[in-house]
Structure 1
């Protein structure tokens, strides 16, 4: 068979094609003058937040490769200039590609950056900014012998996460002290949780007296019934004034667990009685219905619910209100809240994310502890 040799030489941009034997041409590219480079203007700093993760951070643009037949371009990123660990941001035949904030956030995670203003680097500086690197890779050739890669010069960019500034609560906790408080008495061991202008605390009330204090162990900071009445507060009818002396609050309701809520915006003091959780499902004695046979889990101490009943193979979930079907207290609810859940329970994987009992059928005591964030089965 006749041999054919092709030779093309371009001065400046050097390109050499050589055909050879058996009518099967071979493509060879000389890369000595070929290059790719970014042509867009980069910001001096890219400010990132998880709230804007779906936004476009920038559009990368580069000049086209003029050699070869393979026109695929891959945009790559890394957290070091040597590209020790390459992250592919995508492949395109175009000469541009958008980069999302979410992709920069992934790189920020690799750098160990975070939004917490309390964390710092080893040098004491805030741990929310760093440098990442970009490049574009293409190929000259048709994928066969002689194919070689072109890699652009590396572009360095600065990224910074927006620090999460703690929202001011606009109030300080207050202490609840008195013999009307079970396991507290006249000791400074129980304080409210402050949410903006609202104070909340779970209390196991006994018949007796109590008052509030704005500072721990400081008896001079007491706030009694007459103080709130004088400020125009509407006070729950189960709380009355002592009428003399220290003018303490007197609990005059049915002893039990209540949520005490002091709202300084609405100017109200309210007691919300504790309610049970209802257990419904085919793993429990009452099955899947609210017919009166369902099991109640009672709040035995503030934020601790407990009940003993028989479990069988099946699924269930907890309900806050009898007869109201919701998924507020399913397996996912507690797992997402950081609870450590007994291994005899699993997520059933359904849309309702029920609890699935996978232990040996029998009678158990289940305890939900919202203080320690645990669900135990004994």
Structure 2
């Protein structure tokens, strides 16, 4: 999966001034700077867009204030189009500030308007161009609106092959037990509500995935399918709730290593008939974070979204030498980084960079087994 890197977007100049009068003889007179509007940051031209990063900030448009020399409010409207002429366009948003973030989903919508696709039968990614500009207007955007419109900025877009097509076909097992309802998954012991864990590839007998067991004494089994209990695997011990690390069919209900609940990395080998549970609590660490590389900043788990998140101040850092990573249990036994800078995570992957100083919300999503991802959004 590919992720759009986060950069600042600047627009070169505003052009086009209209003065109109209304029926009540209120007249707006524009007195813009003779050199036009100066914008304050550079533009990243190349973008790789994936559905997995739809909620991520793609670009932050930054411009300086417009002075219409009238006692009225000024609103800025960010427009995107598949055509340089902006014959048809979408409004990405409006603001009275001099900057606005645009997310990946908006760019993907425009890319589709431009005729790009992500056909999985096509060996090469689909590429194309989309355009953005900013319109500033005075007052309430009525029939006598005074406005200035910038020239367009060109964005080169790449849509990779359709995501998830191949991943959906990976072999999966399903974890069911007495924890499903309390953990936000569904009905206890329901095969259809089983939590999936996945193999790395077809024919691989090693499965893994993260499962939240929010009860005091979890008990569970491993199912071959999310339709029924045929061929279910349980612990090879003698009593329900035991944890021996060995599986048999049907076996007794398995438990956790210390008999308590938590957020577990579940690993199963269907050939060796073994399983392992590692309880985890996640945080971020790195020289982009307030505590540097010395200690983690803890994240909080939300069962409703099945994600971990934290809001904190970050400093600008460039990957891969600097930045931050995700780490479990305040140790380096389990850590996740982004080697390809695409929004997907790998164990022991590279550091993740931060584009500029600011307050950010970081989200970690481990709910899709083997397809772990994150987002970082400036507040």
TM over 0.5: no
Output the TM-score relative to the length of structure 1.
0.39
Bigger relative contact order, structure 1 or 2 (CA pairs below 8 A, ≥6 apart): 2
Q: Which of the pair has more CA radius of gyration?
A: 1
